[in-house]
Structure 1
Amino acid sequence: MKVLGICGSMRKTGNTSVLVKKILDYVKDEGCSEFETDYLSLSGLKISPCTGCEKCREKKWCILKDDWDTIAEKMTGCDVLVIGSPTYFYDVSGQVKNLIDRTYSLYHDRKLAGKNAVVVSVCADRGGERTLETLEGFANTHGFSSLGFVAGRGFGEGDVINDERSTEKCIEIGEKILKLVSNTHRSGQKKR
């Protein structure tokens, strides 16, 4: 089972990264050999905005050439997507919004449907709920099954580690991901 974590913060080691990695680390440390985790930061990547050209309806893939292709291939190849964003002006970061808009090209053939998703938001004060709504809207539109959400608070780099509620929630989410394998085992096989 492949678990992909995507961090939409422009800070490579910021608070969103801390929470996304905490979920992935828990799955890696507590999981069996059936789990493969991968982490991807959108910081420094080029993801152009959707141009609305509609050529993806015919091509079934976005025709713009940038780092989106690599991300989309990883998304279509995973079983569980953990996607997180900091809150910028009451919503997701611009990089995450560009990524989401470009996944319209995957929607035509429902290339993400049936996968599982976890959404993560971090805010310093207010607006984190809207960030979660945007991420959940993305997941729902594509037909992901929700494994829950994590909402963290923190401003300075690493502050979110002091938010005990969100770090505990990361462990709960990690447990849910681990249970996916035990729920799919056939009878008679070793269960976790």
Structure 2
Amino acid sequence: MVSVGFRTASATDYLSIANLHVRISSEAYASTLPSDYLAEVMPREKIELWERRLAPPVRSEELSITLAEVHTDLIGFACFVFSEETHFGSYLHNLYVDPAFQGNRLGPRLLIESIDRFPSERRETPVHLLTMRENYQARRFYERLGGALIEEKQSVMSRYPEIIFVRYQWPSALVMASNALALSGYSHRASGR
């Protein structure tokens, strides 16, 4: 089995995160989003997003970004945002694993490692996310992870209002981490970070 390392993202990681984000999204949403958006608009949007999120100083009180790497190659990442839609709790905005490494339980491991890096007061608050209603692979994963489907909503992407999103929620980050641990079979010790 390949040895995977986990670490907190730094400002210099924005381009590698954006590239992985674009590559995976282009494949995952090829049948859902217009090809011109995927090829021309999304790459620029994601580079700007990650450059903005990781602009120094990285604000750990507003977000937590954890990377999964093999040697120095980025193979996955999780990003929790603490300052968006706070009435639902902490927002899992991104969870991506390179398709070549999917099936190795890296999604649950990324969640465990990310939540371990949360500020302690964040671990007790709910966690939520949005995914496209037709993203059945992601939805199966979130349902196996114990997420409760709490709403459907019209697109958050103004140029594609016909897309429907669904929101999943967990009672706390600790519950999500516990469920991820059960899914992963991962022997993990909280680091106390």
Higher strand share: 2
TM-score normalised over the length of structure 2: 0.30
